[in-house]
Structures are given as structure tokens and as C-alpha cells.
Amino acid sequence: MISPKRSADELPGDPRRLNLEYRTWHFVGSAGDENGFDEWHVSVRSGRSAEIGSMKLFRLRMDERFSPFPFSDAQAYDTGLSNLVLGVYDLGRGGYRQEFRDAMTSCDGDLLVLFDIRLDPAWRGFGLGPVLAAEAVWTLADGCCAVLAATHPTEFPDAPMGEAAYRRAAEKIAALWKDVGFRWRARPLGHLLDPRSGEARDLRNERRGDLDALADAWRAARGR
């Protein structure tokens, strides 16, 4: 169980009313047959209110019809995303790296990347990040052999991070990934979640339990 840094009575609203909205798109026409790269935007909402957070994930389809299109699309989108994916995939040999194969239960399936996650400050400190990330991952990971997670903090142009602040932010993100079920593997692999492992599934259920406990505490604080 995650120990929240803030009291439940500080929550802006009922955490049981949080919901996730998933959006993706693709081009219509023959070019769509070559598109093995799905971009998912997940909005976090409290009831029907405005967005209070968001996540971005990518799915790379490991199918002979698509390869190497997913990787060229990843490189065109973001160099960091491309480097993350190439940490587990060897373009020269045309398949997953042996280190990756040794780390996963099975390498038969697509690859999902959890690229970033954002939550409004008012909702931070309650352990909701791992809860939300776990739900998004398990919703989109069906048919995937592994999930990768980026460890880079988001920098805003008007408030760039110094080296020390960036390192602290990266450590917090790494701790969040661990609570979701990601495990650090020696470079070049990075943070990986094995969706076929019992540990990862147990952690997803633990995070759901954390949400229930947080919601109960929030209601108790309001005498409900």
C-alpha cells in the first residue's frame, strides 16, 4: 500500500469520481495499413469537470506488415521516444534484443510505451499517480508483451529545471513506476513492466485497493 504524503481531507473531490477518457486517431486510406504506431492521449477527469491530468502512451505493433514503420514513426515523433524503443529492439538484427527476451515472460506481442503523465498540483501527494498509470497501462496493454516507461521529467520553457531538480524529479518518477509494476533493467533496457507476470497484476489490484482506501478516508473526513 502506498502511504500518501497528504491527508485525504485535502482532496479537491471524491477520488471515486475520477475517470479516464481515451483518444487516438489514424489516417484513412491505404497508408493506414502501414501505420503500426498508435498514439494515445488519456485525459484524467473528476466527474464531468475539466481535465485535471493527462497521460500519453504509444503502441508499436510488432507485425511483419508494419516493421520497420513503427520505429521510423517513433523517430519522427520524438528522438527520446525512438531511443527508448531502440533500447529493447535491435534494428540491425530485426528483432528484440536478447537482454529483453531474457527479461520478459514472452516476446510475442506489441510494445506499449508510457511516455508521460501529468496531474494538477491540487491532486498530487495522495498516491493517485500510480493508480491512474496502472489503469491506463492495463487498459491498453492487451496483446502486448511488455510496457516501457520513460523517466524524463517534463520541462516547461518558462520554468526550466536545474540539474539537481531534474534528478530529484526523475527519482520521483522512477518510484512511481515501481508502484505500477515497472522494474529497472540494466541499460539499454530501462524500466519494463511484464504484463504476463503475476507480480504486475497483483500490483494493479493493490493500486485499486489504495484508491478504495483513499476514497473511504475522504468520505469519513466529511462525515459521510
> Mean pLDDT, consecutive 10-residue segments, the chain of 224 residues?
90 96 82 72 93 94 65 76 86 83 92 93 95 96 93 53 71 86 91 93 95 96 81
Q: What is the pLDDT of residue 179?
A: 93
Q: What is the structure's pLDDT at 30? A: 64
Q: Which of 206, 154, 218, 172 is nearest to 18 (CA)?
A: 218
Q: What is the pLDDT of residue 157?
A: 41
Beta bridge partners of 96: 89
| Domain range list for the chain | 8-223
Whole-angstrom Cα distance, residue 40 to residue 88? 21
**At 77, which helix (H) or strand (E)?**
helix 69-77
What is the structure's pLDDT at 92? Answer: 74
Percentages helix, strand, coil for the chain (3-state, rounded to 5) are 40, 25, 35
CA separation for the pair 136, 43 (Å, rounded): 10
Backbone dihedral region for residue 160 (phi beyond 0: left; psi -120 to 50: alpha; all else: beta): beta
pLDDT of residue 65: 57
Of how many residues is the chain composed?
Answer: 224
* Residue-wise pLDDT tens digits, 117-154: 999 999 999 999 999 999 999 999 999 999 999 876 55
Query: How many CA atoms lie within 13 Å of 224's alpha carbon, on the beta-carbon side?
Result: 9
Q: pTM score, two decimals?
A: 0.87
For 111-142, give the secondary structure using H, E and C. Answer: EEEEEEEEECHHHCCCCHHHHHHHHHHHHHCC
Question: Residue 156's pLDDT is what?
Answer: 43
